[in-house]
Amino acid sequence: MWQRRHELLLSELRAADLLDPSRAAVDPGHIRAMKCGPAAGPSLVAGGKVGSKHHLMVEAHGIPLAAITTGGNRNDVSN
């Protein structure tokens, strides 16, 4: 549901020429997992605590273009 809404929003912003893809920023944030799911893993950057990383890519105005979640032990370069 959210993926489809996000795609629709991006489509409307593109049609109105309101996206600026000339620059983009990608940044992950580590979130400690209090209850572990199957994708959580021990983090190499958070002292081995189990958690997940949320990676967000935004365009020049800060509008989110993409978001993914990975295990906390995944290397940022491989994502």
Full-model pTM: 0.65
Q: In the chain, how long is the greatest CA-to-CA distance?
A: 45
Report the distance separating Cα 68 and Cα 1, nearest Å. 15
pLDDT per position as a tens digit, 8-61: 999 999 999 999 989 989 888 877 766 666 655 555 555 666 778 888 999 999
Residue type, 41: G
Residue with tokens 């081995």, as numbered in its chain: 48
Backbone angle region of 77, left / alpha / beta, with phi > 0 → left and psi within -120 to 50 → alpha: alpha
Q: Could you say which DSSP state residue 32 is in? A: E
